[in-house]
Amino acid sequence: MFDKRIPLFSLFGFKVGVDISWFILAVLVTWSLARGLFPFYFEGFSAATYWWMGAAGAIGLFLSIIFHEFCHSLVARRFGMPMKGITLFIFGGVAEMNEEPPSAKAELLMAAAGPASSVVFAGLLFLTHAAAQVVNWPAPVNAVLIYLAWLNIILAVFNLVPAFPLDGGRILRAILWAAKKDVRWATRIASRLGSAFGIFLTVLGVISFIGGNFIGGLWYFLIGMFIRAAAQSSYREMLIRQTLSGEPVGRFMQKDPATVPPSISISELVEDYFYRYHYKMFPVTTGDHLEGCVSTKEIKDVPKNEWNSRHVADIEKSCSDENTIAPQSDATAALALMNRTGNSRLMVVEEGRLAGIITLKDLLKFLALKLDLEENEQIALPT
């Protein structure tokens, strides 16, 4: 999801980062507060005061979302679910999980922790606002506090809408999962409701836009499109994980892949391998020993007039955890690695020896065939 994630800090072992799209939200929130909400509800302040109130409101939103997602992550950790971290982006924030919850109870408690945390945070802000009035804090400070308190209430209520992957949708999935003992069925129902809610918001956005509410309509439309896409992708990812879970990488690997000797020239490499097989990466081997790999990226870094004089050994890249995997590893681990690194081919390595190559294409072919034959499921797979 997040191709341009900027790390910010770590909190109790959770890495907090921000997607570059978050800065768009920060600017829009600051502007709308400084030029719209605060001047409308709290009159009599200077333009500069409204701007710092808007900035404070945006920072408060940042902290509110972090606290909300942090509570999700704490409960997830309690149930042994590995969390990659918390990332803020244009539509809020997300606690990134590597796998599905182990039980309906874990799903329920993890999902409920978010809205509950927002209500608690709102209560603390209401109490702080009340205390600030007693001790006569500046009026602009009180205005920001009461805004943030109500913002957290709205955040809690919105997240309780039973539309997957919102927290309310996850709570619904947990209830359905517990009732029927079928997480796939529960996810399908909750995802369909999430998709329907997304369509509703999209239509509402169009109606608002036509009615003259340009900014509000645009946000309804964008959030609706995002929720619909997230609902569909969440269901697809769950199906992929369930279908591939427990399947070893060795089952899918090509056992006799094309390999490149380190002694050939770059010109020979391009003509005899890249133009012949149409892959973007090849293992470099001497006998059955894996020395590294070479890809189109390394070739493009070499001027074409040097291709005849330079050899594969000059440009090959060392093996690493980014491009190799063990044959006994779970296929879901291979898919996750491909997704994280952008590599569509991984070298399968056993004790320094190249055992084979596993490709995204082969994994997706198996996935589509198994769903078609055994589950009668039709989903749009990633390419």
Residues tagged active-site: 69
* 290 within 8 A of 319, measured Cβ to Cβ: yes
Are residues 63 and 55 in contact, defined by beta-carbon separation less than 8 angstroms? no
Beta-strand pair 353-359/345-350: antiparallel
Closest CA to 65 of 1, 117, 4: 117
What is the signed CA dihedral for 250, 254, 260, 261, rounded to 10 degrees? 60
What does DSSP say about strands 83-89 and 14-19: parallel, antiparallel, or unpaired?
parallel
d(CA 333, CA 38): 49
Cβ 318 vs Cβ 292: under 8 Å? yes
Cα(303)–Cα(306) distance, rounded to whole angstroms?
6
Burial label for 216, CB within 10 Å (0-12, 13-18, 19+), is: middle
Helices (H), the chain: 22-32, 38-41, 47-78, 104-134, 139-159, 167-180, 183-210, 214-244, 266-269, 275-277, 296-300, 312-315, 331-341, 360-370
- 301 CB contacts (<8 Å, ≥6 apart)? 315
Angle between helices 183-210 and 214-244 (to 10 degrees): 160
Query: What is the spatial distance between Cα 276 and Cα 260, in angstroms, rounded to a whole number?
Result: 13
Within 8 A by CB and 6+ apart from 79, the residues are 101, 102, 103, 106, 109, 110
Q: Which two tokens stand for residue 299?
A: 């070739």
One-letter amino acid of 59: I
Enter the DSSP assignment of 321: T
